[in-house]
Structure 1
Amino acid sequence: MAATPAPSAVVELLKPLTWFAPMWAFACGVVSSGQPAQGQWPVIAAGVLLAGPLVCATSQAANDWFDRHVDAINEPGRPIPSGRIPGRWGLYLALGWTALSLVVAAALGPWILGAALFGLVLAWIYSAPPLRLKKNGWWGNSAVALCYEGLPWFTGAAVMAAAMPDRRVLLIALLYSVGAHGIMTLNDFKSVEGDRATGVRSLPVQLGSEAAARLACGVMAAPQAVVVALLFAWDRPWHAAIVAALLAGQAALMVRFLQAPRERAAWYNGTGTSLYVLGMLAAAFALRPLVGA
């Protein structure tokens, strides 16, 4: 067996497909700030790098290291249980990416460093004992949802303003973080057997598939309904109508998902979640003229 991992195995460990969510949320934060991008592109690019290939990738490496026994049941072909990431290399990579993330965050300013540090702490306590938040779906999903949506949104807005973002930006980012808790529950349907065998109390394990699916749908939908109401209250009717239409589309897809939650969780994650994130962008554009008002 190789003493060091192949680059392809390292890339697989860092799971590039998962980077999209925080990178998108960071972009929403940039848009919602209302600040011009001209002259800020290097900073924006560094922020996108921080949100996805650094902080999110760190969380994936840490999770795979501390989940190696669970993955041996659920996904034995993953880099660590398969031996393609040998020895303690998974842990070393997670620690190295943590340090690199902090270096980049520090270069972007104190608000960004604070947000990155908070996100990295959540990433580690999500996976690592003794807290290992992921052992309970209520706490674990909350931590991931905040790291994937709220913190990157905050970071994008803060890096553009070089200050604390407007309170309305913070509120919308928080609401979409709450909704993302449901998205995290969708991800748990693929690993019910392994979670149950290793004592991970995901929501599908705790509640059963049907109840967990209904909860996921409700948790995703309710914050978006609040966003619609807020945008109307803030005199942004067209943006509110777009978010409402996207929510209606999700509701139609939810009906089919709820008929067979285990079989269709991945399908809904690819369809309903796409509408969800489009609504995030619509809400971000709605906030632009309001920042600093």
Structure 2
Amino acid sequence: MNGHNAIKSEHTALRSTLASSGVSPTREKLILQAIENVNKPGLRLDTSAILPLMKPVTWFPPMWAFACGVVSTGEPILSNWSILLAGIILAGPLMCAMSQTMNDYFDREVDAINEPERPIPSGRISKQASWLITFTLIMTGFIVAWWIHPYVMAIAFFGVLMSHAYSGPPLRAKRNGWFGNLIVGLAYEGVAWLTGSFAITQGVPSSESIALAVIFSLGAHGIMTLNDFKSIVGDNIRKVASIPVQLGERKAAILAAVVMDVAQLCALGILLWKSAYITAGISFILLLFQLPMQNILIRNPKEKAVWYNAFGTLLYVLSMMVCAVGIRP
């Protein structure tokens, strides 16, 4: 079978799979074009597509976690505003954006099915251009991290390695939701939190701060599971073993809710151990508000996963800051 016939056969099989998944003919045509776009040679760079490639909506979690790490130290924020600002920029528009552009490069064939409108599948940015953007973000991030502290640059370098381990070969941890979601949670929440704590004090974070960073990182595994619901069709086709693919939609939603709730209960235990009863009470109320929302999620996970990630997860991240305030010396 020659190359043309092989491609034609692959497209025929893909059309059949997409049709059985309920994909409309219009979107099917868009997907097939996107599959051709992702590996086209040449350097194409539509400047209006650079920001969408970096996914600003994903910057908030590491920026927030960095701020939580800063708050947890009890150090005055106004006198350290320049470090706080530089750290937030490092965590979000640089390192998180870098991880997104790197992920889009390695994930371009899956995105062609799940999100054909993304910059690389749509043809607005070539895979070669996406690497130039990634490299620029890495170098700029290293400069900002070095300015904060040389140790922060070492952490930034570790963050780049984690991003590659998640998205790229040989590990490509995201192909298994158990490991991939864990790496993202640790990078977005734990590493960012501890970097914020260290950047202000330039010393080892407190045991309570380390504990909360780890706890909320593990809880973020549930957030990442919910994020995978939007990619079920493409993940099935490309053999990506996300949690919803492995467990099914309802069980994955239950797991995500349980993981997030257990994390918050553990954090609540630390606040009670510190005798921070007011913040413990606020944290408990935030958890109670999530329970009816989780019930709605579990009843209809495919339709409500995006909704819960927008509203239920907001209460989870608010609890992070409440706990950061509660452990201040």
- Assess if the C-alpha contact under 8 Å between 2:222 and 2:257 holds in 1: yes
2:295 alignment partner AA? V
Q: Does 1:119 align with 2:159?
A: yes
The alignment partner of 2:50 has SS state of helix
Tell me the equivalent position of 2:265: 225
The alignment partner of 2:170 has SS state of coil
Matches within 5 A, 1:106-185: 106-185=146-225
CA shift, 1:87, in A, is 4.5
CA shift, 1:6, in A, is 2.4
CA shift, 1:129, in A, is 1.1
Distance in 2 between residues matched to 1:234 and 1:33, nearest whole Å: 14
Distance in 2 between residues matched to 1:267 and 1:197, nearest whole Å: 25
Closer/same/farther in 2, CA of residues 88 and 200 from structure 1, 3 Å limit: same
Q: Does 1:67 align with 2:142?
A: no
- Assess if the C-alpha contact under 8 Å between 2:208 and 2:270 holds in 1: no
CA shift, 1:3, in A, is 4.6
Deviations 1:67-114 (A, max 9, x none): 110011011110001110025111221122122212211221133123
Tell me the equivalent position of 1:235: 275
Distance in 2 between residues matched to 1:124 and 1:8, nearest whole Å: 25
Q: Which runs of 5+ in 2 are unaligned?
A: 1-39
1:90 alignment partner AA? S
The alignment partner of 1:39 has SS state of helix
Under a length normalisation based on structure 2, what TM-score does the superposition of the two structures give?
Answer: 0.85
Tell me the equivalent position of 1:279: 319
Distance in 2 between residues matched to 1:271 and 1:286, nearest whole Å: 23
- Assess if the C-alpha contact under 8 Å between 1:111 and 1:164 holds in 2: no
Distance in 1 between residues matched to 2:268 and 2:135, nearest whole Å: 41
Closer/same/farther in 2, CA of residues 168 and 87 from structure 1, 3 Å limit: closer
2:249 alignment partner AA? S
Larger Rg: 2
Identity of aligned residues (%): 46
Aligned length: 289
Distance in 2 between residues matched to 1:238 and 1:21, nearest whole Å: 25
Tell me the equivalent position of 1:93: 133
Closer/same/farther in 2, CA of residues 32 and 4 from structure 1, 3 Å limit: same
The alignment partner of 1:81 has SS state of coil
- Assess if the C-alpha contact under 8 Å between 1:55 and 1:101 holds in 2: yes
Which of 282, 289, 295 is the matching residue for 1:249?
289
Deviations 1:179-236 (A, max 9, x none): 0000000000000010111111000011111111111011100010011112111100
Distance in 1 between residues matched to 2:79 and 2:300, nearest whole Å: 49
Distance in 2 between residues matched to 1:190 and 1:59, nearest whole Å: 19
The alignment partner of 2:327 has SS state of helix
Tell me the equivalent position of 2:124: 84
Tell me the equivalent position of 2:48: 8
